[in-house]
């Protein structure tokens, strides 16, 4: 019975999202005349497996993104998630359970107000630290799993409904400072669920050192008010294909960090050679529980985890992801094996004019 209700809701959501995106696409194409500014459909599609403590789950995911410029100063963007999963039945039963999920990740309008600022309205990704905004698309992330501290600072839903001001306060050849401030209201509307809160982020980027460091803060303004703090550091040494990314986040009841490194060799013919397409990745992370109130989505006890991955960047925007992780905690240690293939697509939503 509950399955039927769930399917009915899911189909209803799917209809709304499809209608929304199609209507939006049809509308904006009528207003886009510039040859380079044709609305695009981009995103990722993937087939993934996840073997956790011996149980393998299979996923197929499509994450379409619609971006449509209107005039010279407005951009409308929206991303959705379509997920099918097949996981083994528990309790000694054979066979698999099947579930699906369709949801709108964000739907926002961007207005380029000045040389250094943009006003965003609608449903947007909460810009706490870097992972939620930069690394959640499946075609970008080096690992399938988000870090353990990912839920901290995202106000329970990872997206907010309201407004945001963001941009580049100072842009020089040697350094730049980026910023954002958002306010989200409370909403229980289907596909637009959000919590009341506000916050922001400031980041400094040193272009010669290829080093970025920033600070995030946000505050939940409904129920029990809580503060969240975050710090991030990214480093990509010049003339190498090495990247180091890291984040620390602290909430009211837990804190933690992750550090991730990935490397591709420039020897043996560069990044597009057979060897250069191999990408080795590593991530280490820890979470620490500060009290026993479990409202933040982090593990119930202090946890450590190390991920080792080997990705392969095929031509035509296809990536193969493989990884092994070992997770340690007082409730037990376990292995996580993950494999997958992801494809990144970008194409115009209509033919448009030729350049």
Partner 1 sequence: MTSRHHLIGSLFLASVFALAVTAQPTSAPTDKKSTSSNSRKRVAKTQDEGERVFQQNCSRCHASPEGFSPRVSGTIVRHMRVRASLSQHDEEALLHFFNP
Site for partner 1 in 55-74 (CB under 8 A): 67-74
Q: In terms of CB distance, is 27 or 96 closer to partner 1?
A: 27
Measured from the CB of residue 172, what is the shortest distance to partner 1 in angstroms? Answer: 10
Q: In terms of CB distance, is 92 or 351 closer to partner 1?
A: 351
Choosing from 58, 86, 111, 324, the residue that interacts with partner 1 (CB under 8 A) is: 111
- Contact range with partner 1 by CB under 8 A, out of 29-37, 49-57, 297-305, 328-336: 29-37
Q: In terms of CB distance, is 231 or 244 closer to partner 1?
A: 244
227 φ/ψ angles, rounded to the nearest 5 degrees: -105, 145
Contacts 24+ apart (CB under 8 A), 201-207: 201/127, 201/128, 201/129, 201/230, 202/177, 202/178, 203/177, 203/178, 203/179, 203/232, 204/175, 204/176, 204/177, 205/175, 205/176, 205/177, 205/178, 206/174, 206/175, 207/173, 207/174, 207/175, 207/176
Binding flag, residue 317, partner 1 (CB under 8 A): yes
Choosing from 53, 190, 275, 333, the residue that interacts with partner 1 (CB under 8 A) is: 190
Q: In terms of CB distance, is 131 or 257 closer to partner 1?
A: 131
**Residue 322 · residue 338 · CB < 8 Å:** yes
23 φ/ψ angles, rounded to the nearest 5 degrees: -60, -40
- Which positions from 122 through 141 interact with partner 1, judged by CB under 8 A? 122, 133-135, 139-140
Choosing from 49, 85, 87, 168, the residue that interacts with partner 1 (CB under 8 A) is: 168
Distance between CA atoms of 249 and 231, rounded to whole angstroms?
Answer: 6
Choosing from 10, 14, 16, 312, the residue that interacts with partner 1 (CB under 8 A) is: 16
Q: In terms of CB distance, is 23 or 294 closer to partner 1?
A: 23
Q: In terms of CB distance, is 51 or 318 closer to partner 1?
A: 318
- Which positions from 206 through 235 interact with partner 1, judged by CB under 8 A? 207, 210, 212, 234
- Which positions from 249 through 278 interact with partner 1, judged by CB under 8 A? none
DSSP secondary structure of 276-324: TTEEEEEEEEEEEESSS---SSS-SS-EEEEEEEEEEEETTTEEEEEEE
Size of the site for partner 1 (CB under 8 A): 73
Binding flag, residue 79, partner 1 (CB under 8 A): no
Measured from the CB of residue 184, what is the shortest distance to partner 1 in angstroms? Answer: 15
Widest CA span in the chain? 62
Find tokens 């008010």 and name the residue: 225
DSSP helix/strand/coil, 46: strand
């Amino acid at each position: 019975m509950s399955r039927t209700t769930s399917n009915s809701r899911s189909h209803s959501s799917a209809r709304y999202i499809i209608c929304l995106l199609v209507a939006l696409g049809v509308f904006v194409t009528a207003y886009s005349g510039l040859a380079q500014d044709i609305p695009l459909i981009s995103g990722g599609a993937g087939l993934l497996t996840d073997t956790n403590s011996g149980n393998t789950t299979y996923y197929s995911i499509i994450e379409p993104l619609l971006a449509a410029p209107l005039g010279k100063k407005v951009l409308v963007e929206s991303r959705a998630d379509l997920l099918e999963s097949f996981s083994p039945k528990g309790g000694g039963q054979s066979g698999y359970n099947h579930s699906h999920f369709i949801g709108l990740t964000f739907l926002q309008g961007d207005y380029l107000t000045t040389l250094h600022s943009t006003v965003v309205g609608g449903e947007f990704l909460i810009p706490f630290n870097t992972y939620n905004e930069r690394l959640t698309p499946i075609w970008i992330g080096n690992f399938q799993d988000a870090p353990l501290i990912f839920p901290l600072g995202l106000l329970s839903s990872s997206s907010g409904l309201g407004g945001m001001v963001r941009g580049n306060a100072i842009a020089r050849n040697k350094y730049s400072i980026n910023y954002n401030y958002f306010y989200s209201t409370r909403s229980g509307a289907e596909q637009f669920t959000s919590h009341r809160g506000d916050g922001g982020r400031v980041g400094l980027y040193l272009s010669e050192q290829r080093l970025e460091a920033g600070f995030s803060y946000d505050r939940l303004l409904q129920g029990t008010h809580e503060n969240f703090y975050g710090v991030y550091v990214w480093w990509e040494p010049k003339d190498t294909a090495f990247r180091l990314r890291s984040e620390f986040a602290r909430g009211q009841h837990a804190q933690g960090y992750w550090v991730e490194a990935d490397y591709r060799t420039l020897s043996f013919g560069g990044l597009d050679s057979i060897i250069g397409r191999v990408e080795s990745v590593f991530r280490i992370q820890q979470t620490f529980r500060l009290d026993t109130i479990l409202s933040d989505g982090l593990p119930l006890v202090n946890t450590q985890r190390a991920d080792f991955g080997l990705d392969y960047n095929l031509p035509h925007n296809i990536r193969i992801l493989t990884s092994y992780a070992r997770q340690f905690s007082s409730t037990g240690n376990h292995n996580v094996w993950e494999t997958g293939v992801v494809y990144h697509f970008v194409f115009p939503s209509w033919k448009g004019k030729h350049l």
